[in-house]
Amino acid sequence: MDDLKGIAGPLPHVFVPGTTADQWRTKRRPELLKQFTGLMYGEAPPAEAPKATVVNEKPMDGFLLRNIRLHTGILGPVALQLTLPLKQSKPVPTFLALNFTGNESLHSGPTAWSFAEAARRGFAIATVCYEELAADRKESPLYESKYRAVSLWAWGFSRMVDWALTVPELDSKKLIALGHSRLGKATLLAGARDERLAAVIPHQSGTGGAAPSRGTIGESVQRINTVFPHWFNDAYKKFNERTADLPFDQHCLLACVAPRPILLSNAQEDTWANYDGQFSLLDAALPTWKLLGGDEKLVQKFMRPGKHALTPEDWTAFLAFAEKL
């Protein structure tokens, strides 16, 4: 690409000319995911069969609220909150989302999510507080092993998928991964790894998410690895001052989502997330959707006024995107 806003190019090839769809699926995509594991995100724990217990259930103003104890295996049990339409005649599409502030906090105040509006439009929302999966502090003993935080949070999405496939009220073909900021990084990684996710919304995911490691705007690889050393593995730190030597950039991870729908959402004042770089990378990944016969109209970008936040306006955009699936 000649016009790479927010990126110090050139970019590595997602695939070489002449690659077939079968070669992408069987060779190139697995090769890229292996590189991302080894050189950036680190390993993920083995999956275990989901075990869930309903704690309680109650009708709210516009939706049904169900609290669940989900046993994830190696990371222990987590509190999962599910909201559903009060009336449904068939399984409903579902947002699987990680949150920052705890499930109860999402119903009021500045962190409130649009549960009632989602239910009115026929959507469920399942959410877990991210630190129940893995602590967001470098001192955690978890990070003395081969695991790192973004990879563990992404693994949590897949355990939510395991659970969702056992819930008859949820449409197993329309599970949508959603996360904001550092959780947007985990969202994109989960979407790249787990093809059971029907669509992916990494919101304002920045460096280590949909923004380029070779970025010229916003947070650098060196800065993110210094301030948050537990997010990515030690191999990624070796590229702090030589990102041009990485054999991939995040357009390769975006391409691993193809041919499924994806929405990159950002805000005009959030230059730290390098939205120019994100959108350039999505354009660079688009040939993979073409190769696989994906619907290019569902490879989307959204920009709103404002700052780094998850707002009702964002939820309106998420729901409009999801209604097209």
Residues annotated as catalytic are 181, 308
Buried/exposed 187-201: b ≥16 CB within 10 Å, e otherwise: bbbbbbbbebbbbbb
Q: Would you state the structure tokens that stand for residue 137, as one six-digit string?
A: 């502090």
Question: Of 130, 128, 131, 132, which Cα lies nearest the Cα of 82?
Answer: 128
* Strands ordered across the beta sheet of 299-304: 51-59, 64-71, 77-84, 124-129, 92-99, 170-180, 199-203, 262-267, 299-304
Whether 32 and 255 have beta carbons less than 8 Å apart is answered as yes
The CA distances from residue 229 to 79, 135, 218, 223, 242, in Å, are: 27, 13, 18, 10, 17
Alpha-carbon span 39 to 172, nearest angstrom: 32
* Tokens (6 digits) for 72: 């994830």
Residue (of 315, 149, 184, 172) closest to 254 by Cα position = 184
Tokens representing 189 are 């990684």
